[in-house]
């Protein structure tokens, strides 16, 4: 922060005292009055102000942390991928959190260029992820990923990026890794995953189904209490969903069957996937807004498109490109566009309702950036070629290391902006309450 000189309100005939002690006292008092309230407002520690141009490749307690300053008027999510020869910042050898099916280097992916790109917003720079700074900002706080396996993919990426500073310990209260919890003991920071592929109450109605990919019953107006009963304790909730809604589903509302998506059942109306997707997000956000004790910040991590080419996922489709698209080479359209629009529209509706209670919503808009990364998926490099397993080419999840690591760049920059934004929204909330009370 740039400090400007201040003039003391001296009278016409007053003299500034010459005493060095008095001058020092006055100068220190002014500095204290100007600087301390500003950083108290932001709720960031003062020692986060050092600003090396790049984060170091490893960290210890003496390492400098990058600046918290950022430009709020820059759209982080519109831009291009540019080369980053210094990446990656971890490997499958240094991080145990890499899921086997996303461990592309272990299973023989021959190219490495997909790991060597960074996102460049059109109007500013997006700093690379700094694990020491992230953990300091998260000191004494908690973060949970609510969603499906792509959400878990994001959490494992974050664990790997943080591994340069500290590894977490497993504090899960269940052996089911779909509900894993990790704690960074030096920072009293807890990270968790809550599995809910449809966001609402659902069950497997037929493990085979009409397309041999299962048939699910979705209760579109009922909360999935596996996650809704647990998030009140978290400071940050990152919610996401998408790819499971492409599967056959039967929709229920008020416990009555109202239609389906590609269920191929007699006398059942096909309402398409977007109907269920929109209703599921509406119910999920309604659950968050109904919680009495939830005071956290909710992030919607937007849909990350798949990149199957040459066929559908179960009909030989694959993703074999080795470089990102330029922004003028790919367009968000079709199903991906419909899904994106539906979730953002429901997000805006929930944000409006949440503001009435002082709740905060943020859009972690990864869609455009990930649309441009057909090269970042595991494809067939999620298992050994000779293994006797039934796995399709994976063009949904993301290799680790890989493009998904950029989601943590986005998240950290949003956290750095949060102090001022939360303060402004709090003032607006209190002002609105006063107006409504009149």
Q: What is the mean pLDDT of residues 227-238?
A: 98
pLDDT score for 383: 83
Exactly one of 221, 224, 394, 405 is catalytic; which is it? 394
CA distance 241 to 196: 8
- Is a pLDDT exceeding 50 seen at residue 296? yes
- Is a pLDDT exceeding 60 seen at residue 64? no
Domains of the chain listed by start with CATH number: 1-42 (no CATH), 53-437 (3.40.50.1110)
Nearest to 364 by CA among 245, 239, 241, 278: 239
- Is a pLDDT exceeding 60 seen at residue 5? no
- Is a pLDDT exceeding 50 seen at residue 20? no
pLDDT band with cut points at 50, 70 and 90 for residue 156: very high
pLDDT score for 204: 92
pLDDT score for 387: 75
Tens of pLDDT, residue by residue over 374-421, are 999 999 999 887 776 667 899 999 999 999 999 999 999 999 999 766
Strand partners, 146: 194, 239
What is the reported pTM? 0.82
**Which position has the token pair 């409006």?**
352
pLDDT score for 10: 30
Q: What is the mean pLDDT of residues 332-338?
A: 96
pLDDT score for 425: 61
pLDDT score for 314: 77
Task: Identify the residue with better confidence: 14 or 345.
Answer: 345
Exactly one of 70, 142, 149, 379 is catalytic; which is it? 149
List Cβ neighbours of 388 (8 Å cut-off, separation of 6 or more). none
Exactly one of 221, 261, 397, 408 is catalytic; which is it? 397
pLDDT score for 424: 62
Instruction: Extract the tokens encoding 90.
Output: 């971890």
CA distance 323 to 330: 13
**Which position has the token pair 């499906």?**
148
Q: What is the mean pLDDT of residues 215-235?
A: 97
Contact 370, 305 (CB under 8 A): yes
Q: What is the mean pLDDT of residues 103-116?
A: 96
Judge whether 397 counts as a catalytic residue: yes
> Whole-number mean pLDDT of the chain?
85
pLDDT score for 293: 96
Judge whether 394 counts as a catalytic residue: yes
pLDDT score for 231: 98
The pairing of beta strand 200-206 with beta strand 169-170: unpaired
pLDDT score for 423: 58
Q: What is the mean pLDDT of residues 68-96?
A: 88
Rg (CA), the chain: 25
| Share of residues in the chain with pLDDT > 90 (%) | 72
Contacts 24+ apart (CB under 8 A), 15-18: none
pLDDT score for 4: 34
């Amino acid at each position: 922060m740039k400090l400007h000189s201040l003039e003391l309100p001296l009278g016409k005939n007053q003299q500034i005292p010459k005493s060095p002690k008095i001058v020092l006292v006055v100068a220190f008092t002014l500095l204290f009055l100007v600087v301390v309230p500003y950083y108290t407002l932001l709720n960031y520690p003062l020692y986060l102000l050092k600003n090396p141009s790049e984060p170091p490749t490893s960290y210890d307690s003496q390492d400098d942390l990058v600046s918290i300053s950022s430009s709020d008027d820059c759209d982080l999510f519109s831009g291009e991928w540019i080369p980053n020869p210094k990446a990656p910042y971890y490997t499958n050898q240094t991080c145990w959190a890499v899921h086997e099916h996303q461990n592309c280097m272990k299973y023989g992916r021959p190219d490495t260029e997909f790991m060597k790109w960074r996102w460049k917003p059109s109007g500013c720079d997006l700093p690379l992820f700094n694990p020491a700074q992230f953990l300091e900002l998260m000191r004494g706080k908690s973060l949970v990923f609510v969603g499906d396996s792509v959400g878990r993919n994001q959490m494992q990426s974050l664990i790997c990026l943080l591994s340069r500073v500290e590894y977490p310990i497993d504090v899960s209260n269940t052996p089911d890794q779909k509900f894993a919890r990790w704690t960074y003991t030096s920072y009293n920071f807890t990270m968790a995953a809550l599995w809910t592929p449809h966001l609402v109450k659902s069950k497997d109605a037929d493990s085979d189904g009409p397309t041999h990919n299962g048939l699910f019953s979705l209760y579109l107006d009922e909360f999935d209490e596996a996650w809704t009963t647990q998030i009140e304790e978290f400071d940050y909730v990152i919610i996401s969903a998408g790819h499971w809604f492409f599967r056959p589903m039967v929709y229920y509302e008020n416990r009555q069957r109202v239609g389906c998506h590609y269920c191929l059942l007699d006398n059942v109306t096909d309402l398409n996937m977007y109907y269920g997707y929109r209703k599921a997000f509406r119910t999920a956000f309604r659950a968050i807004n109904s919680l009495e004790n939830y005071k956290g910040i909710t992030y919607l991590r937007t849909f990350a498109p798949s990149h199957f080419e040459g066929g559908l996922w179960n009909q030989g489709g694959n993703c074999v490109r080795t470089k990102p698209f330029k922004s003028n080479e790919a367009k968000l359209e079709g199903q991906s566009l419909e899904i994106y629009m539906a979730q953002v529209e429901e997000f805006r509706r929930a944000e409006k309702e949440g503001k009435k209670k002082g709740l905060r919503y943020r859009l972690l808009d990864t869609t455009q950036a990930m649309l441009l990364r057909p090269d970042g998926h595991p494809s067939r490099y999620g298992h050994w070629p000779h293994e006797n397993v039934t796995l399709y080419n994976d063009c949904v999840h993301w290799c680790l290391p890989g493009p998904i690591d950029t989601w943590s760049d986005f998240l950290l920059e949003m956290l750095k902006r949060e102090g001022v934004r939360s303060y402004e929204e709090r003032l607006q909330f209190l002002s609105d309450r006063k107006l409504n009370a009149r």
